[in-house]
Structure formats: C-alpha cells, structure tokens
C-alpha cells in the first residue's frame, strides 16, 4: 500500500489585518450611515414660508388681540350707539347690514355719528359699543369669543410655522440637525409645539361654541 499523502495545515480565511469577517467600518459590522445632504431649494422654501407665516401670525394676532380688548371693554371709550336706520346689502348668506346712528359716551358726550355694521337693528335700538378713533367696536360675549377664535387660529398656524422652520434648518445645515438630534432638542421642540397646537385647537373650538351660543341668545 502506498503511504497516505500528508495533509496540508488549514488556514483561516479572512482579512489579513485581523478584523472579523463581515465586519465593516460601522458598529456591529454595519456600515456607517451616510450624512444627510444639504438641500438648498427645500431650505429656501421652508425658511421663506416660515418667515411669511410668522409675519402673518403676528399681524393677525395683533389685530385680533386689539379687537378682543375692545369687545371686552378693556380698551377704547365706552358708550351707547343709538340706531337711526339700517340698510341691507347683498342677498342670502352674503347679506349684511349697516346701521346709521349716533354714539354717546358713558360720560354724556356725543362723540360722533356714523355707521355700525354688526347686524340688523330697529330704529331707536341702543347698542353698547366701544369707540377707538373713528371706529365703532361691538362689545359682548359673542364678539369677544369671535375674536378669540381668530386669535387661537393664528396661534395654531404659528405652531405649524415652527415645524416648517425646523425642517428648513435641517435642510440648510445637516450638521446642525445631527447635533440637535443628539442633544434631544428636536423631540423637545416637537413635544412643545404639539402641546401648544392642541391647546390652540381646543381654545378655538371653545371660542367657536361660545360665539354661536352668544349669537343665538342675543
């Protein structure tokens, strides 16, 4: 019988640098995630849109907040508007009324005569109003609730503007976005914005209900 051929020693296959087979540059053999790329177009759209939304919310908030103060009799000159006659314009749902009369302040001064557009009234009706400059403002629960609805709606849009701003910042500076994620600022911002948005939605709903009930009762 012929002698058996000698066996060759087995060698381990794998990379020569001693790293484990299948391992990559990342943790647990997974490759590193590619860093997010900048998107100038998306960043410009989001940042410009957020700026416009912020400006719009500020303007609407200032306008609605001032009217809430007038409707609540916290600003302006209090007095009574005496209706002389009312004229309607439009038809159906678009019908509106403009009443002409005179305004007398609570201290007895007759400050002005002019129109008031807050619904249909009979001649001789006395309506409590606030005067600011040349403007007459309706007062009461329904007007205040209506302006509170507008104010809450503006606050809700403001929360959307913050979310759009975050997207724009991430698109403009991916490195900053990574740092925000690592510092847990992004979830905090989202949580705060979500809570504020829910509060604004609840306030708007409550104001709408009060406005409708006030209109029915008055």
pLDDT value, residue 84: 81
> Quick one: average pLDDT of 96-115?
74
pLDDT value, residue 173: 83
pLDDT tens digits for 32-52?
555 567 788 888 999 999 999
pLDDT value, residue 113: 63
| Banded pLDDT at 118 (limits 50, 70, 90) | low
The chain-wide mean pLDDT, for the chain, equals 79
* Residue 4 pLDDT exceeds 70: no
Percent of the chain with pLDDT over 90: 31
Dihedral sign, Cα of residue 201, residue 74, residue 87, residue 122: positive
pLDDT tens digits for 139-195?
889 999 999 999 999 999 999 998 898 888 888 888 877 777 776 666 777 888 889
Comparing 23 with 133, which gets the higher pLDDT? 133
């Amino acid at each position: 019988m012929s002698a058996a051929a000698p066996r060759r020693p087995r060698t381990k296959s794998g990379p020569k640098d001693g790293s484990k087979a299948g391992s990559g540059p990342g943790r647990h053999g997974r490759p590193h995630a590619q860093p997010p790329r900048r998107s100038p177009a998306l960043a410009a759209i989001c940042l410009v849109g957020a700026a416009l939304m912020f400006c719009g919310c500020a303007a609407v908030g200032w306008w609605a907040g001032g009217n809430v103060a007038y409707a609540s009799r916290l600003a302006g000159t209090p007095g009574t508007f005496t209706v002389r006659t009312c004229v309607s314009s439009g038809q159906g749902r678009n019908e509106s009324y403009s009443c002409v009369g005179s305004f007398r302040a609570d201290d007895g001064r007759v400050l002005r005569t002019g129109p008031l557009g807050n619904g249909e009234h009979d001649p001789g009706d006395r309506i409590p109003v606030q005067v600011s400059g040349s403007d007459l403002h309706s007062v009461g629960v329904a007007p205040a609730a209506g302006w509170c609805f507008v104010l809450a709606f503006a606050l809700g849009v403001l929360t959307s503007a913050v979310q759009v701003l975050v997207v724009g910042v991430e698109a403009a500076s991916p490195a900053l976005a990574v740092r925000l994620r690592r510092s847990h600022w992004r979830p905090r911002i989202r949580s705060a914005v979500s809570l504020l948005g829910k509060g604004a939605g609840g306030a708007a709903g409550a104001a709408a209900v009060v406005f409708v009930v006030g209109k029915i009762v008055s």
